[in-house]
Structure 1
Amino acid sequence: MIYAFSPFELDMAKFELRKDGEPCPIEPKVLALLAYLVEHRERLVSKEEIFEKLWDGRIVTDSALASRIKLARKVLGDTGHTQRFIKTVHGKGLRFVADVRPLRNSPIVSPEDDSRQEADTPQAADDVSYRPSIAVLPFQLLGKPGPYDTIADGLPHEIIAELARLRWLLVIARASSFRFRDRDPDQHHIGQLLGARYLLSGCVEASDRQLVITTELVDTRSGEIVWAERFTGKVEDIHAVRKEIREKILAALEIQIPLHEATAARLIVTENMDAWSAYHVGLQHIFRFNQKDNAAAAALFQRAIKLDPAFARAHAGLSFVHFQTAFLRHTDDIAGETALARRCAQAGLEIDPLDPFVNFTMGRSFWLSADLDRAHSWLERATSLCPNYAQGVYALAWTNTIAGADQEGRDQVDLAMRLSPLDPLYYAMLGTRGITHVARGEMAEAVQWAERAARSPGAHVLIAMIAAATQELAGNAAAAATWAANVRERSPQLGSAEFFGAFPMRKEPLRTQFATALQKLGF
């Protein structure tokens, strides 16, 4: 989206402010503030909201915000007296008041956009064919009316707000989707009217004691049910049930929509794939953790970028490829692959700095250089952008665990596993849980989690090294030797140096424990 307000253009894709076509020098945080005010120009934005959205809720003084506002006005040639662009409503907040002309339709409609014209939605979906769109319909209330009727509207509205955090998904505004309340909706017709590729609908049944909620995700093009789930709970636990449903739906859609898109893409001749299809088939390859599939993923992500250079997630996918090449030691040029992983992540950030997956790949690139502090910062940003982003939560858990914050890591990895029990990185979550037990000297539990991790589908060879070391630490020499043999058969070149290169453990005695165990096993 480009917003024009004479003589300026605010280019959201490039994250750039231009005056008469020339880029304006502006501090990133000031530009972020300006962009937020422009995007929400139809209403007053409070100071509290700005602190939450731009400073992730961190404690910031009023003077810090005041200085950014002053700098924004200076760039625009505005003043606190004239206020031609940014108006201060004392004691209330700020509003962008200049006339703004969008130069092309926005690829994302968020819940805050409820007051905008619904007619814009279908065109927005057409403009970004690689980004799927979803509409969440009001849920149907079954049974007799009662005190919990509001769940049928309240829960889907909360789901819309959560889905809007997913930068890769276009979310139809509540004001449009909530107009369809038929008990037997024509899903294909609604999809056409709203420009929605997917519809999420549901039913609510509440009795005196029991609450039952069913949800269903449908592909409006084919009428196919992509995913469905049934949630039950006690009425008195309604708030906990609401939270669980929001979390599980968000995590499920993160997996089910890309999987469905990739399956459909496989029916298309490769030469005709669009950027979205190429990207998601690439994801299927990358999570197999071997050189052949990694190379296939690289080719598909490169194709996606060629088709659409502004596709941020395709750049992030390519970063993931280079991360995996270095992490699994598929090359002797670890430094070169690390640099490429970071460069591709940076390219994605320049396009969309608010995409959780893009921030995730930047954070993981710092694992490769053992810079856990900077990795933690980027991963924390990814999860603040989308608190239910399971892979981001897992990566943050892993970073905390090897940095010594094992309790925090355990809490986070438990959340990640609850959010995404079918995640392609689930084996890594299990392995992380095992290491938190080693850190506490709970070797019997550590062995159980490490074994589950190493035996899980998709687990790469470094997970087998964790299992071998954990068995050795628990005094199970035979089992440790078996896993060590498994490692050597799969990757004879791996040793302690490669293990700690991938897992730069800081905490003592955790690092020494693993080093000693691996040495005893001949690594």
Structure 2
Amino acid sequence: MSVESGDGEANQPGGPLEIRLLGPMAIRREGADLTLPGSRKVRSLLAYLALSPRPCGRAQLCDLLWDIPDDPRGELRWCLSKIRTLIGEQRVITQGDTIRLDLSDCFIDAIEATAAYQHGFKTQSLSQLRSLAALFAGDFHEGSSVERSPAFETWLLSQRRRLRDIHTALLEHMVQRFPPEEAQTYLDRWIQLAPFDLRPHELLLMSLAKAGRFREGEEHLEATAKLFDAEGINARSLRDAWQTARTQTDETFRQQRPGASTVAASSPPETESLLKEPRRASIAIMPFNELSAVAVPGGPSDALAYDIITRLAKLRSFHVIAQGTMFALRDRHHTVDETARLLGVDYVVDGSFQRVGDRIILRVELTEARTARIAWTEVFERRVADTFLLLEEIGSRIVVSIEREVETIESNRALLKAPNSLDAWEAHHRGLWHMYRFTKSDNEQAQRFFERAIGLDPTFARAHAGLSFTHFQSAFQHWADRDAEAELAYRAASQSMMVDDRDPTAHLAMGRALWLRALHDQSVSELQQAVELSPSFAIAHYSLAFVQSQSGDPGAAILAADHSRALSPFDPLLFGMLASRALALVRLGSFEDAADWGVKAAARPNAHAHILAIAALCLSIAGRLSEGKSYLAMIHDRYPAYRLNDFISAFHLPPTDQALFRQGAQRLGFE
């Protein structure tokens, strides 16, 4: 590791350094403002590096801010010299071809706000909450747009949306905790920040009704309804809330807990902030109905519901209603339909939890709110002694099943619409439908739909990741120039990570793209990050198995393959999970078992040429030549141009293992 030297004398920090990014950028040392460089790119590079959770490659930074300059690396070095002068030379750290900033002793407002949000605002005192609210002096990195830098603009828009959501959540929490007079100030700020969010308007109307200020309530309702109508948002629930607030009796208010604030006491329960645009599917997890003779508040059934909500949220594939809302609703005994209407969600999960003797029986249902149709249901049974297994294994199975069912429903719905009428969410799911067909023509179709989704919503991380996977497929299947497709896969994965580096699919896409570049360790690191972000992410576990089965640890590959199958036993990539296990077993010398698993992989739907080749070669290595030749005939029939070199070049097998597969091919007459 080295500290880069720059031209000119660096400003060494003589005291606390503060970097303000919420609003126009400002940097202060010991309370005194420093003069910022005039270059927007210098300031934007500083903001990007300040928030980056890991070192950034020089090529990535050049792609981020420069539109084919004459000397991108020279311009990058110039920008870094300006940053050194501003924050101190020793804070700019390089290692190999990567760059990071050491700001561990600095105060960065955006990081402070994010950390408080992640730890929970409930842990903050009122004075700390006031200080947090004061940090938000405007939009993230305000006035910092960089022309002809679409990658940076995408990242900037994503950060602004993320921090705006944090600001909204902070204001919502403060409205609920602060005394009425002060809470009103934060409620007004919340409405200004999120004018199309129903909740602050409902809270304001209820507060006005409680104070007897009905004329002001009517005026606010009509003005807000007009605003909503102009945006195509249904204001019916807002009118219902006003009517309910006006007809509530004094007795109802007297039953509220002592000391509750005016605004919070009359408010509906907390709900998760749902952006109206761009659209995402939304889901509510109802606490499980405890059927046991002796219910235990906060016991295993509640813990499981909390776990499912948390795991689903980590997937970041759709909006998940906050657990505080769902548990607050429990005592109201709403039906599934009522819950869906009240929260405005697309899907609701509910079920029951029962202890019978030494057994625990869990019933779960996923309901599609639009049709009131039960889309998926399952019954799990475990011994009471296996409670922790219930929380871990069953919780993961439920999360993966929910994600897969929602994905299928949304994809099938998108298929029924004209392509030019699709929004970003629908185009993404139409792309997924084609992507999982594993044919060249479907892969090209998937690319077009992912590109449409990105065009409609550049901040849609999963659309970028999907596009990356289609280029990965083109490279891996030899449908196009491997090097060119590998580069496109990497670029799309980089875009996904710039948009949302907390989305596990972004790290999944990057892991696969790095594998195409034969960077095994970096690939494994990204895939492990995807698993850490979302332990229930079955495809990330499978991708670890895929990489490790070839050039890594075959024992780890088998564990990862088995775990991915346990999480998602009907996954569209099941053939890959089985085939990865077969490759790992060959490398471990378990040839007979490898042949059996190879046959299982080839029997799965959508098994492509490489999977059939694994089955044929594993059978040959195990001495089962007649069976192996039948799979070779299948390859020749379906893929006449497929040759042994296609298999060898597709996988990253060590030379000794390559020799083993070549010997198997020779016995089959596979050239």
Measured in 1, the distance between the counterparts of 2:39 and 2:174 equals 28
Q: Which of 1 and 2 has greater Rg?
A: 2
Q: CA deviation at 1:25?
A: 3.8
Q: Which has the higher contact order (CA 8 A, sep 6+)?
A: 1
Retained in 1: the 8 A contact 2:336–2:350? no
Measured in 2, the distance between the counterparts of 1:20 and 1:512 equals 60
Unaligned runs of 5+ in 1: 10-17, 35-64
1:68 aligned residue (65, 87, 103): 103
Look up the SS of the partner of 1:341 in the other structure.
helix
Measured in 2, the distance between the counterparts of 1:414 and 1:300 equals 32
Match of 1:58 in 2: none
Q: What residue identity is the alignment partner of 1:445?
A: D
Offset from partner CA, 1:319-347 (integer Å, 9 cap, x none) = 1111111111112x211111111111111
Q: CA deviation at 1:304?
A: 1.0
Offset from partner CA, 1:433-457 (integer Å, 9 cap, x none) = 1122212222221111100101111
Q: Does 1:353 align with 2:353?
A: no
Q: Which runs of 4+ in 1 moved over 6 A?
A: 18-21, 75-78, 83-87, 92-96, 120-123
Q: Does 1:424 align with 2:590?
A: no
1:199 aligned residue (332, 345, 348): 348
Retained in 2: the 8 A contact 1:176–1:194? no
Retained in 2: the 8 A contact 1:148–1:206? no
Offset from partner CA, 1:117-155 (integer Å, 9 cap, x none) = 793777832434432111111111114215587223221
Match of 1:274 in 2: 423
Retained in 2: the 8 A contact 1:134–1:197? yes
Match of 2:321 in 1: 172
Are the structure 2 counterparts of residues 499 and 66 from structure 1 closer, same or farther at C-alpha, using a change threshold of 3 Å? closer
Measured in 2, the distance between the counterparts of 1:122 and 1:167 equals 17
Are the structure 2 counterparts of residues 401 and 366 from structure 1 closer, same or farther at C-alpha, using a change threshold of 3 Å? same
1:241 aligned residue (390, 406, 425): 390
Q: Does 1:381 align with 2:529?
A: yes
Match of 1:510 in 2: 657
Measured in 2, the distance between the counterparts of 1:260 and 1:76 equals 41
Look up the SS of the partner of 1:202 in the other structure.
strand
Are the structure 2 counterparts of residues 33 and 460 from structure 1 closer, same or farther at C-alpha, using a change threshold of 3 Å? closer
Retained in 2: the 8 A contact 1:367–1:502? no
1:264 aligned residue (399, 405, 413): 413
Retained in 1: the 8 A contact 2:475–2:486? yes
Are the structure 2 counterparts of residues 131 and 154 from structure 1 closer, same or farther at C-alpha, using a change threshold of 3 Å? same
Q: CA deviation at 1:116?
A: 6.9
Measured in 2, the distance between the counterparts of 1:19 and 1:503 equals 49
Q: What residue identity is the alignment partner of 1:142?
A: L
Retained in 2: the 8 A contact 1:450–1:466? yes
Measured in 2, the distance between the counterparts of 1:515 and 1:488 equals 18
Q: Percent identity at matched positions?
A: 30
Look up the SS of the partner of 1:201 in the other structure.
strand
Are the structure 2 counterparts of residues 77 and 292 from structure 1 closer, same or farther at C-alpha, using a change threshold of 3 Å? closer
Retained in 1: the 8 A contact 2:21–2:109? no
Look up the SS of the partner of 1:353 in the other structure.
coil
Offset from partner CA, 1:20-53 (integer Å, 9 cap, x none) = 995444386741579xxxxxxxxxxxxxxxxxxx
Q: What residue identity is the alignment partner of 1:215?
A: V
Retained in 2: the 8 A contact 1:326–1:334? yes
Are the structure 2 counterparts of residues 228 and 182 from structure 1 closer, same or farther at C-alpha, using a change threshold of 3 Å? farther
Look up the SS of the partner of 1:445 in the other structure.
helix
Offset from partner CA, 1:142-178 (integer Å, 9 cap, x none) = 1421558722322101211111211222121111121
Look up the SS of the partner of 2:420 in the other structure.
helix
Match of 1:26 in 2: 46
Retained in 2: the 8 A contact 1:105–1:127? no
2:300 aligned residue (151, 174, 188): 151
Retained in 2: the 8 A contact 1:8–1:19? no
Q: CA deviation at 1:76?
A: 7.0
**How large is the Cα RMSD of the aligned pairs?**
3.5
Q: CA deviation at 1:462?
A: 0.5
Look up the SS of the partner of 2:104 in the other structure.
helix
> Which runs of structure 2 are paired with 1:393-404 in the superposition (5 Å)?
393-404=541-552
Q: Higher mean Cα deviation, 390-399 or 497-506?
A: 497-506
Q: Higher mean Cα deviation, 411-420 or 260-269?
A: 260-269
Look up the SS of the partner of 2:434 in the other structure.
helix
Measured in 1, the distance between the counterparts of 2:436 and 2:424 equals 19
Retained in 2: the 8 A contact 1:177–1:194? no
Match of 1:405 in 2: 553
1:301 aligned residue (446, 450, 456): 450
Match of 2:581 in 1: 433
Retained in 2: the 8 A contact 1:312–1:358? yes
Retained in 2: the 8 A contact 1:122–1:194? yes
Offset from partner CA, 1:211-235 (integer Å, 9 cap, x none) = 0011111122221212111110111
Match of 1:212 in 2: 361
Q: What residue identity is the alignment partner of 1:177?
A: M
Match of 2:284 in 1: 135
Q: What residue identity is the alignment partner of 1:490?
A: R
Are the structure 2 counterparts of residues 116 and 76 from structure 1 closer, same or farther at C-alpha, using a change threshold of 3 Å? closer
Q: What residue identity is the alignment partner of 2:46?
A: I
Q: CA deviation at 1:248?
A: 0.3
**Normalised by the size of structure 2, how large is the TM-score?**
0.64
Structure in which a larger fraction of residues adopt helix: 2
> Which runs of structure 2 are paired with 1:35-114 in the superposition (5 Å)?
68-70=103-105, 72-73=106-107, 97-98=131-132, 99-101=134-136
Measured in 2, the distance between the counterparts of 1:373 and 1:294 equals 28
Match of 1:42 in 2: none
Look up the SS of the partner of 2:406 in the other structure.
helix
Match of 2:149 in 1: none
1:493 aligned residue (626, 635, 641): 641
Are the structure 2 counterparts of residues 446 and 66 from structure 1 closer, same or farther at C-alpha, using a change threshold of 3 Å? closer
Match of 1:314 in 2: 463
Measured in 2, the distance between the counterparts of 1:145 and 1:394 equals 41
Measured in 1, the distance between the counterparts of 2:528 and 2:664 equals 32
Offset from partner CA, 1:295-330 (integer Å, 9 cap, x none) = 111121111112112211111111111111111111
Are the structure 2 counterparts of residues 6 and 330 from structure 1 closer, same or farther at C-alpha, using a change threshold of 3 Å? closer
Measured in 2, the distance between the counterparts of 1:415 and 1:447 equals 20
Measured in 2, the distance between the counterparts of 1:262 and 1:435 equals 32
Match of 2:155 in 1: none
Retained in 2: the 8 A contact 1:8–1:20? no
Look up the SS of the partner of 2:283 in the other structure.
strand
Measured in 1, the distance between the counterparts of 2:545 and 2:294 equals 44
Measured in 2, the distance between the counterparts of 1:166 and 1:19 equals 39
Measured in 2, the distance between the counterparts of 1:133 and 1:364 equals 29
Q: What residue identity is the alignment partner of 2:51?
A: L
Q: What residue identity is the alignment partner of 2:653?
A: M
Are the structure 2 counterparts of residues 189 and 105 from structure 1 closer, same or farther at C-alpha, using a change threshold of 3 Å? farther
Are the structure 2 counterparts of residues 310 and 414 from structure 1 closer, same or farther at C-alpha, using a change threshold of 3 Å? same
Retained in 2: the 8 A contact 1:279–1:300? yes
**Normalised by the size of structure 1, how large is the TM-score?**
0.81
Measured in 2, the distance between the counterparts of 1:384 and 1:84 equals 22
